[in-house]
């Protein structure tokens, strides 16, 4: 056999130069259209860039943030972009002689639940802290979405040892199908205090304020200081007066947002965020002393508005991996256990996937676990890369690149790479849910129908098979069932209802992917 050098070659071009030439030609001829090819890591320094972009992640990022404007309560600003929404809930808090105007409706109803709102705020802030530097023109919009929430949380925590945790009677609200602009159901105000504690909702609120304080540290230092001071006070209340808020408020918050996992996870989570925000060693000591008693099972792999154990482990692992705090080395192992539990086919895997490849936890609002897990995978990959570390799952080495690949697959499924070829983000792609379980989206807008639509009259629209008249751009719904089926029916709240805490972690994941494919 002849040696390779025996074959004549009219022109020898170094591999790196050839790749550059291809990219330049592709760009000049506008043939790439967002598709970027894998480049040798030693030549160009991008070891994590996947083969091609199958989606417009920048467009999805823009829409995922825009969604929060559709969930706003209170007096809307002139900059409001979803124009079919109008002012609502302008007397919220008056029943208790407090100002609770503002904040977000958590989903498709008109109640303001403080527990998921605080978690949404924490995750939006974490998204910006990890990936905000990649968001470019979308960063101001993401920060505005956070501020809309923190302005409200500051109102809800204005009185010491008291947190207003809900506005609206959920049972009465769910008995109507009304636009938020029309709602005439009771706007009862519910709180936790030292006589009826709520360490879970209080510590989550403290986490939200602490995380947001880091977001605004440079751009608005005085606001940042206000947030961290309030966070300290709220966390002290959460820790001093311990108990789950669903004990005293069971008839109000259950079954909607019961604290099923208890409050220990929120105390650890809140302390972790306060340590990150203040660098005060008192919180490091709190974590070291209480970490075991506040911990959960090693193979707990659920992260969402109720259970924060996994999120705390990932967050604290950064202190060990990146900041070299040896006293927190156990959190790297606990974070690894989570990773191993969600890796398909790993020996420790305990996660189910649909036939089409979607992570599946439960039929009700499953997409929240898809977005939160994808965010954690990308964030942990970032930490591992900084420390030049990997995950060992029973002898199988899991690299940061593998974690990013799994996260991308989940986000791509959400955006349309699935058996139905449907995007589960409203307004993204050619095919997306048309009949989402959302009052404001499903009822005629005030501009189209100025007259009030009464409580029971709205159910005619809810039961209709017609598409929603108002597009809630960026809303991600609960998603398909375990067999990848999605009926797109408005009464089906388990699959068709969007929530703020589905979108919040997705914002960070989309920012990373958009940047990775050169779309930002």
Instruction: Please tell me which residue in 437, 438, 484, 515 is annotated as part of the active site.
Output: 437
Catalytic residue among 106, 264, 497, 515: 497
Q: Is 484 a catalytic residue?
A: no
* Element holding 35 (H helix, E strand): none
Q: Identify the helix (H) or strand (E) that includes residue 123.
A: helix 114-131
Determine the angle formed by the axes of helices 114-131 and 199-215, rounding to 10 degrees: 30
CB contact at 8 A, 344 and 297: no
Which of 92, 109, 488, 515 is catalytic? The answer is: 488
What tokens does 453 get? 């639509």
- Does the annotation count 488 as an active-site position? yes
Query: What are the structure tokens assigned to 54, written together?
Result: 């199958």
What does the alpha-carbon distance between residue 72 and residue 149 come to, in Å, rounded to a whole number?
9
In whole angstroms, give the CA distance from residue 330 to residue 334. 6
Is 437 labeled as catalytic in the residue annotation? yes
Contact by Cβ (8 Å): 82, 472: yes
How does strand 359-360 pair with strand 352-353? antiparallel
Closest CA to 473 of 84, 77, 55, 73: 84
Q: d(Cα 253, Cα 196) in Å, to the nearest integer?
A: 14
How far apart are alpha carbons 368 and 123 in whole angstroms?
Answer: 12
**What is the rounded distance in angstroms from the CA atom of residue 295 to the CA atom of residue 268?**
8
Cα distance between residue 462 and residue 379, in whole Å: 39
Dist CA 9 CA 240 (whole Å):
78
Q: Between the CA of residue 280 and those of 44, 173, 189, what are the distances in Å? A: 40, 43, 35
Query: What DSSP string describes 364-392?
Result: SSTHHHHHHHHHHHHHHHHHHHHHT--EE
CB atoms within 10 A of CB 362: 14
Helix (H, G, I), strand (E, B) or coil at 88: strand
Kindly list the catalytic residues.
437, 488, 497
């Amino acid at each position: 056999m002849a040696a390779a050098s025996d074959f004549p070659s009219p022109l020898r071009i170094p591999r790196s130069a050839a790749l550059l030439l291809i990219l330049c030609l592709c760009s000049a001829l506008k043939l790439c259209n967002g598709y970027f090819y894998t480049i040798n890591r030693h030549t160009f320094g991008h070891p994590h860039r996947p083969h091609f972009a199958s989606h417009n992640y920048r467009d999805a990022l823009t829409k995922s943030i825009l969604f929060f404007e559709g969930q706003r309560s209170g007096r809307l600003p002139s900059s409001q972009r979803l124009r079919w929404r109008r002012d609502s809930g302008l007397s919220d808090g008056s029943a208790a002689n407090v100002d609770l105007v503002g904040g977000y409706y958590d989903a498709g109803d008109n109640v303001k639940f403080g527990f998921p709102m605080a978690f949404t705020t924490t995750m939006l802030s974490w998204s910006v802290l990890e990936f905000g530097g990649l968001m470019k023109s979308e960063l101001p919009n993401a920060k505005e979405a956070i501020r809309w929430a923190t302005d409200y949380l500051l109102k809800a925590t204005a009185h010491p040892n008291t947190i207003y945790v809900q506005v609206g009677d959920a049972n009465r609200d769910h008995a109507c199908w009304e636009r938020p602009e029309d709602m005439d159901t009771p706007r009862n105000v519910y709180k936790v205090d030292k006589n009826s504690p709520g360490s879970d909702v209080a510590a989550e609120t403290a986490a939200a304020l602490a995380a947001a304080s880091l977001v605004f540290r440079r751009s608005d230092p005085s606001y940042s200081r206000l947030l961290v001071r309030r966070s300290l006070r709220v966390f002290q209340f959460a820790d001093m007066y311990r108990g789950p808020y669903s004990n005293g408020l069971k008839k109000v918050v259950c079954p909607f947002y019961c604290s099923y996992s208890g409050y220990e996870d929120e105390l650890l989570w809140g302390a972790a965020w306060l340590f990150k925000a203040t660098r005060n060693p008192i919180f490091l000591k709190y974590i070291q002393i209480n970490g075991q008693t506040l911990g959960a099972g090693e193979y707990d792999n659920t992260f969402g508005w109720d259970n924060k154990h996994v999120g705390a482990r990932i967050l604290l692992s950064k202190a060990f991996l990146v900041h070299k705090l040896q006293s927190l080395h156990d959190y790297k192992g606990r974070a690894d256990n989570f990773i191993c539990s969600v890796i398909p086919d790993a020996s420790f895997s305990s996660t189910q996937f649909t036939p089409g490849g979607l992570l599946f936890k439960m039929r009700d609002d499953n997409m929240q676990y898809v977005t939160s897990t994808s965010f954690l995978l990308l964030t942990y990959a970032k930490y591992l890369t900084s420390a030049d570390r990997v995950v060992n799952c029973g002898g199988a080495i899991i690299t940061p690149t593998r974690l990013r690949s799994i996260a991308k697959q989940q986000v791509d499924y959400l955006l349309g790479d699935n058996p139905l070829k449907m995007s589960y983000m409203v307004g993204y792609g050619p095919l997306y849910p048309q009949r989402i379980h959302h009052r404001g989206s499903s009822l005629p807008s005030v501009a189209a129908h100025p007259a009030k639509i009464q409580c029971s009259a709205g159910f005619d629209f809810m039961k209709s098979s017609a598409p929603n008249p108002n597009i809630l751009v960026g809303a991600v719904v609960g998603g398909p069932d375990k067999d990848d089926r999605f009926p797109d029916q408005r009464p089906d709240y388990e699959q068709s209802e969007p929530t703020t805490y589905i979108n919040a972690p997705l914002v960070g994941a989309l920012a990373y992917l958009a940047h990775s494919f050169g779309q930002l």
